Structure 1
Amino acid sequence: QLYDTTLRDGVQREGVSFSVVDKLHITQKLDELGIHFIEGGMPGSNPKDTEFFHKVRSLTLTNSVVVAFGS
C-alpha cells in the first residue's frame, strides 16, 4: 500500500506553501492515482491543517484515506 506525505513533508522546503484549496486539489489527484493513504498534516498544531481536515470531509474519495501525521 502507498502512503503519501506530500501535503505535510512537501511543504517543508523553503518557499513552498500549499493553501487549503491547493491541498484539497492535491488530495483529489492523489485519490485518482490510487494512493491508499494521504497524510494531511498536523491538525493539532497548524490551523491551516485543521481547516483542511474539516473541508476534506466534503470530498468523495474512492481509493484514499486521509490521515493525520503520527496516526
Structure 2
Amino acid sequence: MRDGAQREGINLTVADKLTIARHLDDFGVGFIEGGWPGANPRDTEFFARVQKEVPFRHAQLVAF
C-alpha cells in the first residue's frame, strides 16, 4: 500500500487506507506496509485507527 500511495496523483485518505487494508487482508496478503507512523498526520492517524478498526486474519501490518 505504501508504494502505491507514493505514486504521483494518488492522495489516499485515512478511510481509503483502512478500506485497502481490509481488502488486502481478505486477499490473504501476508504483510501490509502502511507507511511510517509519525512521518505525517495521516500515517499517524492510520496506525492509531487500523489496530482498532481492522481485525486482521491474514496480514501483519508493518511500518515502512
TM-score by length of 2: 0.91
- Structure 2 partner of 1:14: 8
Distance 1:64 1:12 in 2: 21
Q: How many residues align?
A: 63
One of 39, 43, 46 as aligned partner of 2:40: 46
Structure 1 gaps, min length 5: 1-5
5+ long unaligned stretches in structure 2: none
Task: State the 4+ residue runs in structure 1 displaced beyond 3 angstroms.
Answer: none
Q: Secondary structure at the residue paired with 1:10? A: helix
1:60 aligns with 2:55: yes
Structure with greater helix share of residues: 2
SS in 2 for 1:63: coil
C-alpha RMSD of matched pairs (Å): 0.8
TM-score (norm. length: structure 1): 0.83
The 5 A counterparts of 1:30-45 are 30-45=24-39
